[in-house]
Amino acid sequence: MPEKLKKGLLIFAGTVFTATGIIGIFVPILPTTPFLLLAAACYLRSSQRFYNWLLGNRFFGAYVSNYLHGRGMPRKIKIATIFLLWLTISCSIIFAVQALVIRIILLVIAVGVMVHILLIKTTPKDQGQAEFRDQ
């Protein structure tokens, strides 16, 4: 495969993964982090400019960078993430899903995501942001 085509496909895939990750912020059963990490991997292999944009994004750049570098998450962000997770899952279970099996699946997913978030290292409030700016 020609290098230019490969770069173009990776940029396209990174953009699709970024968009899917952003949608995942608002859709409870669609994960955000894996898609943003896939986007970072695609951009890293294709475009330094897009990679820098993703990691420098003011809304989720520090989050992705901290995750990639194992720096963790601030406690406030963990609490807000878990609160939003349970709020959206609860609304889905109450208002959108009738089948018991799907409700159970949603609960299992929510518990799994919550455990994953709790296992991520907790950092002081702005530590990751400062480290990212220094790079």
Residue range 47-89, pLDDT digits in tens = 999 999 999 999 888 878 888 888 888 888 788 888 888 988 9
- Pick the closest to residue 33 from 76, 81, 79 (CA basis): 81
The pLDDT of residue 30 is above 50: yes
Say if residues 14 and 42 touch (Cβ distance below 8 Å).
Answer: yes
Say if residues 20 and 33 touch (Cβ distance below 8 Å).
Answer: no
| Rounded CA separation 40/78 (Å) | 22
Q: Report the run of H or E that residue 44 belongs to, with start and end.
A: helix 33-44
- Tokens for 102? 């799907």
Residue range 92-130, pLDDT digits in tens = 899 999 999 999 999 999 999 899 889 988 987 655 444
Quick one: DSSP state of residue 98? Answer: -
Instruction: Provide the pLDDT for residue 77.
Output: 78
The single residue listed with the structure tokens 């989720």 is: 60
Average of per-residue pLDDT across 5-34: 88
